[in-house]
Amino acid sequence: MHSHVAAIESFLRTTVENKEEVKSIVAHEREELVRKGESTDDNDTIIITSTLKELEKSLEVLDIATGEVVEVPTTYLSATHAEPTLERIRPNAYLLPPAYHHVVEKLEIHGVEVKRLNEPQELSVESYTVTDQQIGDKVEEGHIINKVETEISEEKRYFPEGSYVFEMNQTSANIIALALEPESEDSYVTFNIIPVNVGDEVPVYRYMSNERLGGESIKEEKEGGELPNTSTNYVQNTLWGMFLLVVSSSLLLILKTRRKEQKE
- Its sign, for the CA torsion 192, 177, 130, 116, is positive
Q: Would you state the pLDDT for residue 11?
A: 86
Cα–Cα distance, 243 to 249 (Å, whole number): 10
One digit per residue, the tens of pLDDT, for the chain of length 264 reads 677 788 888 888 898 999 999 999 999 999 998 999 998 888 899 999 999 999 999 988 888 888 889 998 999 899 889 999 999 999 999 999 999 999 999 999 999 999 999 999 999 999 999 999 999 888 888 889 999 999 999 999 999 999 999 999 999 999 999 999 999 999 999 999 999 999 999 999 999 999 988 888 987 666 544 444 444 454 555 556 666 666 666 666 666 666 666 666
What pLDDT is recorded for position 47?
A: 93
> Which pLDDT score, from 0 to 100, does residue 263 have?
62
Q: Which residues are CB-contacts of 57 (< 8 A; sequence separation ≥ 6)?
A: 73, 74, 76
CA distances from 255 to 2, 7, 225, 245 (A): 13, 20, 43, 15
Domain layout of the chain by residue ranges: 1-36+233-264, 45-89, 92-217
pTM of the model: 0.76
| Rg of the chain (C-alpha set) | 23
Determine the pLDDT at residue 189. Answer: 96
Q: C-alpha angle with apex 94: 204 to 79, nearest 5 degrees?
A: 90
